Amino acid sequence: MKTVDKAMTLLSQFTAERGALGLSELARLAGLDKAAAHRLLAALARHGFVEQAGESRKYRLGPGFLTLARVREATAPLGRLAAAAAEALTETTGETAHVSVPGPSGMISVAIRLPHRANVINLDPAETLPFHATASGLAWLSSLKPAERAARLRPPLAAVTAATMTNPEAVAAAAELAAARGWSLCRDGYEIGVTGIAAPLLTPDGAFLAAIAVAAPSDRIEAQGAEALLPALLAARDGLARALGA
């Protein structure tokens, strides 16, 4: 199990900004010695999960993940259904909509749709959305038991903007409020001038499946009130739940 953990730690160092990494840099980022990192990378390369790119010989993610992604989507089609739900939500609200699932360090977007208007919120599908700094993250935290939530909110929490909540108790209180009302709101936590509203999608026994959210300019949200978007948001959440059999 330790070997698997180390391999996953290596893979998690690749991001949209760090698409290709050398052995020394990968080992440093993952906290491994070069020899151990090289052995793990060689094993991952044999199965197609990493490859070495061109003359630089730097490592990048390999095509092996594409096969697994196809199997996942064929057996549990969250991506296709999430895309349809986000599309419908964008058409109804005129705002950016996205669906995300929890990853090791934040929420990972599985579907993003942008409206056809001048002033919109853009989301990078490769970005990880911090749990404590986004409405989607708060929606996920709202589904956790207090002890599980506390384990995810160990300080220090990074200040993404000047308005990011970095006090674990304040984040926990926001998650509790989200649990009580069934939706979460985060203003300026991830980007100044942006407000997110999210609703968790849960199974009947309370297990978290995904968060569906709207992201809009804060001044537009304030002008109409966050509650004005709730009927469309909750309808999209319920529609996705039915499509997933949840």
Q: pLDDT truncated to tens, each residue of the chain (246 aa)?
A: 689 999 999 998 888 778 899 999 999 999 999 999 999 999 999 999 999 987 888 999 999 988 888 888 788 778 889 999 999 999 999 999 999 999 888 999 999 999 998 888 988 888 889 999 999 999 999 999 999 999 999 989 999 999 999 999 999 999 999 999 999 999 999 999 999 999 999 988 888 999 999 999 999 998 888 889 999 999 999 999 998 886
d(CA 4, CA 240): 33
Q: Supply angle C-alpha 74, 60, 82, rounded to 5.
A: 30
d(CA 150, CA 133): 15
d(CA 76, CA 213): 21
**Residues 209, 202: contact at Cβ < 8 Å?**
yes
Q: Which of 210, 187, 206, 189 is nearest to 197 (CA)?
A: 187
Q: Which residues does residue 208 pair with via DSSP β-bridges, in sequence order? A: 202
**Residues 16, 37: contact at Cβ < 8 Å?**
no
| Token digits of residue 142 | 């709202």
DSSP class of residue 133?
Answer: G
